[in-house]
Structure 1
């Protein structure tokens, strides 16, 4: 089992997500004394009799004044069993793009719902985004269970509806768990509650500590996007030429045959250097500098891959994207595509379909994609890109669409990722 779990939280406005995250930090003793003192003083100023734990995470003044979270913030905490990196994402529908960012590396998603409201539109939207991003496990925290008098039937109805929705999105049995919690009081967050004697499952923290985390596939093909070419040109290293980057997948060893993409040039790995000294091998997530046996023309943005299992560079992409901009996307729009460390000119040539996350259906040939909408598109790039299918390698199978004029991010894309729809697409009525 891994000793690190990356998770992302999401939920609608006022579902109590900030309070839940604050409660986790508080109950795991991950809060400094001066931070807690400041929260207690702020809570007294607001006329509250108990500390408002949401203030532990809502650090921006604009968030505090409005009582909302408007940005992705990363929280770090630990227990004796595991270390956690938590992406705390916003709840407002117009900030769904932040959820895409926060969940892109998550191994588990925690979705909150208000027990008085149940599963709402934003819950289904967030679940669809997590499914598209390949987040393998979900937890539904049915919050404010104290405000429905800890009613078992209310929890059961909500849990059943969400589990059904998650199953339709492709989640398998055992990968979705619902927990009745009260973030404000602390019921079933870190401590089991006597108020829910009918619930026999784990607390939220117990589940986070014990949920299996799948390791990186040992047989994944090696990929290293080149971030920087190192040529010291010093008397000590007159001929040194190294290619620095982070191994995005697989394993590389000294002597391995590799291919440089998109050029197709081949060589073998002469050495693997790091800041701590040379290594005989390096696996996914490790930052290294590769030295090759041959002097090749390699630059930032190229990808060094395993020679026996390399992707074919392409200049046409079929992908699923989440549109993140206020201005709608239409066919024929000229954009920039950023894949790894390389950015190229491109055009969105076709809008194949639009995903309806509430009904898990799709509409064929839409005229446009609007803010937060998800769709299948075709993109033609000015240069060939060595992309993988997102299901095979999420890092080399993902990309960003960027506005050429000002550099704003317009969309997040996943190569080849299918829409999680039920039945056949319907024709557009627009």
Structure 2
């Protein structure tokens, strides 16, 4: 049955998204932007107000906090995790969240840029929110549901448990991370300090979704070294590395292996950055597939393509470097089936249908699972992420809070078996 509780999740969300926490992939600092700490500091203060007295932010912007067990049972320590940063893909400065009460199914024209229109035909999931409240940004920025929705849900869970000591649970650890959107969300996490046995990220989409599989992910950097010469006297001498890089980009498959033409379980090769000058150019790629074998096949394809393009220009040189980013967490979670099974039970107790999904991407849970903290991903309701038409349903966030309340009880109940 629904919780008898005045949820605070949407109010928290609308406050948190106003804080600019955009991360920076070109930065080498931890966190990549200091402004991420602005929200982390707010969260620490609010946790203290709730009664979570040990909440602290470390030098890297990570927030650690503990909700102590209230039962004498020997229970595993659970961690609930979300990231504070927003994606570099779209501006996160000056976010103005708008609450649309009782959505009627008609187009929503976002007021600060009327060219940004939310339509049911573009977002079919909106049909499930007719008559319900939704939140959007104003049209010039992303909203920040990814992942301030997850942050808000965990904060409301902490608030709920502070008001309902009768809900039995083991020790709960809260972890808020920076820099997830630039692939460094776990770079400085202290798992010994965290002290958790199992985890759940709150970084998913539609209500009821439970994701226990991600892509395998690598980054590839291709450096092309050409031959520089004065352009006035370059005939027969110059090999322009920028032009060679352009040929490589033009030679990429257009009908396969590209994000814009792949879905479901298909992997891809995706250029994300290109820079340089006539003498040397760099092209950066991300490579994704659900199997490691597929990932390596894509990398071989990319290498052979690059080698062919560069070798057509005598004097040009090629460097091809692969960096592992994360691996499919399903390989770990299959060894700990109860983590997923208990989440399924909690979702059903909330009155939702379980939507078992694979993530065409990754979460902090991907890395955490391989670091020793098995960690599937739970829904938050976020939709249209990384875009100016991002939106989220208030009822979805509230259902996620309720799911977490059930989840901590499921773990407590099964400890008796």
More strand by share: 1
Q: TM-score, normalised by structure 2?
A: 0.22
